[in-house]
Amino acid sequence: MSIQAMIDEWYPVGIFAQLDEAGRNTMLMGEPIVVTKDGNARVTGRNGRSLPVKVRYGHVWTSLGEPKKDLFPIPEADQPGRRFVDVGVVRVRCSPLRAVENFLDIAHFPFVHTDILGAEPHTEVQNYKVEIREDVDEVWATQVKFYQPQAAKSASGGITTEYMYRVAAPTCTVLYKTCPPRPTEWDVITLFVQPLTEELCDVWPWMALFDDETSMTDLIHFQQTIFLQDRSILENQIPRLLPLDPGMEIPTRADMTSIAYRRWLKRHNYTYGAQLVAQ
Amino acid sequence: MKLYDYILSPSCYKVRLMAALTGVKLELRPVDFHPGLEHRGLALLALNPAGSIPIIEDGDLILTESSAILVYLAAQAAPEWLAGTKPEEAARVQQWLSFSGRLTANLGGARLHEMLLRTGDIDALQAQGIAALRELEAGLVEQNLRGQRFLAADRPTVADIACFPYVALAPDGGVSLDPYPAIRLWSRALRSLHGFVEMPGIHRLHELKPEPTVEESKA
Amino acid sequence: MHTLTTGPWTPVALSADLPVGTVIPARIPAGSIALWRSESGRLSASADRCPHRGMSLSHGFVRGENLSCIYHGWSYARSGKCVRIPAHPGLEPPEAIRAKTFAVEEAGGVIWVATDEAATTPPVLEGLMPLRSMTTSAGIAAIEAAAGAKATAEGLVVPAENADTLCLLLSARDDGQTLIHVLLKGETTADSRIAASRVAESLRRAAEDLQKKGIAA
């Protein structure tokens, strides 16, 4: 494990709209921090040191180091007509990297999100494209297609849904998904992961959707449903840390995004929450 | 009949499950429990000053407390889910309904702490949860020895539905279910019932469906 | 430290607790296992870890003669060989994808699993009828102290006050817990079985009390 390569990254530590003066006592990569509000957001680390702060995508972001880059862009966050959904925190006893990797996976839909995001016999994962975009240093998977039995609350039948996946930071990932009311746009669903320790994380899903029909509470509950179905998987993977040793877990073609993600982590030495050598 | 519902609440799930098993149609009114704390807002406190969900609205009738709601649904749609006339059976149903309140406090408290970051003494909650699971396990062992597969009888009753959700979701609060073979068999029997529905954290029993024939696409 | 000598065999569960078409978690000295019984009734034990993404296989499901992982539905035969990857329906899974398996034997209503290739067979428990299994945080010494009797080499303890009716089969686990299989002797009735279950609960309570006080340490 090395904390160094990941220390200058931005991490989500709270929903901005929910901050109060009393503050939120939490942790970032093992260091106790306090997130408070005095007009803007403030984050204090060990021994009262002030940490850098950004408020973006509904959340407060901070870093234990000195961020060299701005927070990754999500242009859709500034697009008129979208609804922005703070889904709320869920704690998971797993590596932050495992939480991201699960989010990048579609093959589990029929078994874990049964009758919502997938259903037998529609289990096949067709080939898709994966690349590491060197200019932005991000992992991208495109032309990902999967049969979804209930595409939206209003949909009566199944459709083939198209997805694009993007890893924008070691513990932050963005999903672009077919948007039924606007075929030319993508719905944006993110998973922002706050690493508390290498084996414990707070997960902050956030969405930017074109949907004027569904109530905000329904939108929140749909995403909470999906994530809570994943949680019982994430807490039962062995080891808790994400293995980067290729001999430890066997991927197939369906796992190309996960393979690229693991390679990218290794290349950058992003190993907080990873296991380098099989034990 | 309108249910003020939260998809992640095991107590609300009791009501949805009971309704599904007995064919009662519910109108769901989602409550933003997390992160919005809507159950503690003025509108919901007017319905239930205790600030808890589920709440049922049926005409003029407002019902709170999941055990009471289970009895209401069963009495209307499926009386065989209530206790019969045998004194022992009637008492057992009441005993496990009361017991289910403890599960909400201990296993439910541990789950809220571990999952949604609510405050609580996690060690005490988990220890009390384990004590309750042992009690349930022993009760089910004795019922099996009496030739009865469920908590109060050889058929499921409201008592089983009252206890099942917090037990099945104990691992969400860091409490393992591995040490309880009788609970595992009981849980499986409930999950196999016709009309059973899941909630997040309780997976589908895929073995209840035969393995599908999947053809490779020609693409 | 007590060393019980059941050879490579560990008594992991009672037959009645593993119906046809189900999978349960269990532990042997080599680690956690998924113990499962196929629809035709054949028993298997595999490492509790899917080689694909590390998911615990005891959370999975049994269809026909195979065990499937709940995460992506990868299915394993009794031999441990992967026989199906639902994401690639046309693919014959490579030979290399295997879950590690262990030898299993069932005798007298108790399921035993061997750590190594077993040349021997598990101990035979004559005249004992399994009642239930329970787990305790007490160690073997504390259980012996609570029962007022010593364990045999096979891990059998006959509680002094219930010598005519009860026998406990103990198995120390690597996580510090002890698995107790409660066995009955002689003729029993429903009432006597219920009474025996309650006695076992009391013994566990007493043993954990002793363990906590450090008396049996």
Does C38 fall in a domain? yes
Low-confidence ranges of chain B (pLDDT < 70): 215, 218-219
The answer to whether residues C110 and C14 belong to one domain is yes
Which chain B residues have a beta carbon less than 8 Å from that of C23? none
Instruction: Check A224 against B30: CB less than 8 A apart.
Output: no
Does A217 fall in a domain? yes
Q: Total structural domains in chain C?
A: 2
Does C141 fall in a domain? yes
Query: What is residue A1's predicted lDDT score, i.e. its pLDDT?
Result: 55
Q: What is the CATH number of the domain that holds C134?
A: 3.30.70
The answer to whether residues C85 and C134 belong to one domain is no
Does A54 fall in a domain? no
Positive or negative torsion for Cα B44, B45, B46, B50: positive
CB atoms within 10 A of CB C8: 19
Please state the ipTM of this predicted complex: 0.95
Distance to chain A for B31, nearest Cα, Å = 7
Query: Does residue A154 have a pLDDT over 60?
Result: no
Q: Total structural domains in chain A?
A: 1
The answer to whether residues C18 and C90 belong to one domain is yes
Low-confidence ranges of chain C (pLDDT < 70): 1-5, 116-118, 215-217
Greater pLDDT, A157 or A220: A220
Burial class (CB in 10 A: 0-12, 13-18, 19+), A70: exposed
Report the alpha-carbon distance of residue C183 to residue C167 in Å, rounded. Answer: 5
Which residues form the domain of C132?
Answer: 128-213
Query: Are the CB atoms for A174 and A153 separated by under 8 Å?
Result: no
The answer to whether residues C147 and C204 belong to one domain is yes
Distance to chain C for A248, nearest Cα, Å = 8
Q: What is the mean pLDDT of residues A91-113?
A: 98
Does A208 fall in a domain? yes
The answer to whether residues C97 and C26 belong to one domain is yes
Query: What is residue B213's predicted lDDT score, i.e. its pLDDT?
Result: 82
Greater pLDDT, C214 or A210: A210
Which residues form the domain of A222?
Answer: 82-275
The pLDDT mean for chain A works out to 94
Q: What is the CATH number of the domain that holds C91?
A: 2.102.10.10
**C54 phi, psi to nearest 5 deg:** 75, 10
Does A18 fall in a domain? no
Query: Are the CB atoms for C51 and C95 separated by under 8 Å?
Result: no
Query: What is residue A155's predicted lDDT score, i.e. its pLDDT?
Result: 60
The answer to whether residues C60 and C136 belong to one domain is no
Does A44 fall in a domain? no
Q: What is the mean pLDDT of residues A163-180?
A: 95
Q: Using beta carbons and an 8 Å cutoff, which residues of C are at the interface with B? A: 13-14, 17, 19, 21-22, 24-25, 59, 61-64, 68, 70, 73, 86, 88-90, 132-135, 177, 190, 193-194, 197-198, 201
Does C1 fall in a domain? no
Report the alpha-carbon distance of residue B184 to residue B177 in Å, rounded. Answer: 8
Structural domains in chain B?
Answer: 2-79 (3.40.30.10), 83-191 (1.20.1050.10)
Among A16-20, A190-194, C117-121, the range scoring the smallest mean pLDDT is C117-121
The answer to whether residues C155 and C207 belong to one domain is yes
The answer to whether residues C18 and C106 belong to one domain is yes
The answer to whether residues C96 and C149 belong to one domain is no
Query: Does residue A202 have a pLDDT over 90?
Result: yes
Q: What is the mean pLDDT of residues A262-267?
A: 97
Query: What is residue C195's predicted lDDT score, i.e. its pLDDT?
Result: 97
Does C119 fall in a domain? no
Of C114, C141, C166, the last residue of a domain is C114
Of C91, C114, C137, the last residue of a domain is C114
Q: What is the CATH number of the domain that holds A237?
A: 3.90.380.10
Does A171 fall in a domain? yes
Please name the chains neighbouring C, where neighbouring means 3+ C-beta pairs under 8 angstroms: A, B
The answer to whether residues C95 and C132 belong to one domain is no
The answer to whether residues C139 and C74 belong to one domain is no
Query: What is residue A17's predicted lDDT score, i.e. its pLDDT?
Result: 94
Does C123 fall in a domain? no
Report the alpha-carbon distance of residue A162 to residue B141 in Å, rounded. Answer: 50
Please give the structure tokens belonging to residue B95.
């005993």
Does A144 fall in a domain? yes
Q: Does B23 lie at the interface with C, CB-CB under 8 angstroms?
A: no
Query: Are the CB atoms for C115 and C174 separated by under 8 Å?
Result: no
Query: What is residue A22's predicted lDDT score, i.e. its pLDDT?
Result: 86
- Whether this model's pTM surpasses 0.90: yes
Does A163 fall in a domain? yes
Q: What is the mean pLDDT of residues A249-255?
A: 96
CB atoms within 10 A of CB C41: 10
Report the alpha-carbon distance of residue A125 to residue B15 in Å, rounded. Answer: 37
Which chain A residues have a beta carbon less than 8 Å from that of B13? none
The answer to whether residues C104 and C137 belong to one domain is no
Query: Are the CB atoms for A115 and A186 separated by under 8 Å?
Result: no
